[in-house]
């Protein structure tokens, strides 16, 4: 029973991670890329702008890579049965990575206000999508925790 439930959770994780990558991360990155050239020009003249540009890139990358890791890990555990120790290790690594990435993204994006100006709607949408990814990381953390507990029971 625990094994069947774990398989169901792995399926959910992979699907949910794929959904997040496609509907949130890809949209946020695509929208932010529209401002890349302007940000690069500003970064030539301002250390603050340069730091903001790199922090934006790093937070988007860490969120995307971590959610992608959940997708790949879930698919791996779903398709290739492994030992309980391996399952626990994979769950622990994903929990740690998601917590770290969530904090990293939150530390940077939490203070970013939406800009109430014409022509920056896609930037504001990128902020919204990034916050959605960050929120959804909580669900993934919870699902990995549940998988780890189920693995302890088997």
Widest CA span in the chain = 61
What pLDDT digit, counting tens, does each position of 4-47 carry?
A: 788 888 899 999 899 888 776 766 666 565 666 666 666 666 66
What are the sequence ranges of the domains in the chain?
Answer: 2-153
What pLDDT digit, counting tens, does each position of 51-101 carry?
A: 776 777 777 788 888 989 999 999 999 888 788 888 999 999 999 999 999
pLDDT for residue 103: 92
pLDDT for residue 99: 96
Q: At residue 120, does pLDDT exceed 70? A: no
Q: Is the dihedral of CA 61, 65, 67, 68 positive or negative?
A: positive
């Amino acid at each position: 029973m625990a094994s069947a439930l774990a398989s169901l959770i792995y399926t959910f994780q992979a699907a949910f991670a794929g959904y997040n990558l496609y509907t949130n991360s890809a949209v946020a990155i695509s929208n932010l890329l529209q401002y890349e050239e302007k940000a690069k020009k500003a970064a030539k003249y301002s250390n603050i702008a340069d730091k903001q540009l790199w922090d934006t890139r790093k937070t988007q990358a860490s969120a995307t890579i971590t959610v992608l890791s959940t997708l790949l890990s879930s698919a791996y555990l779903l398709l290739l049965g492994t030992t309980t120790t391996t399952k626990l290790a994979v769950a622990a690594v994903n929990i740690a990575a998601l917590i770290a990435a969530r904090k990293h993204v939150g530390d940077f994006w939490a203070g970013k206000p939406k800009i109430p100006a014409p022509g920056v709607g896609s930037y504001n949408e990128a902020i919204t999508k990034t916050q959605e990814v960050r929120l959804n990381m909580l669900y993934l953390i919870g699902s990995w925790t549940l998988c780890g507990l189920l693995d302890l029971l088997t």
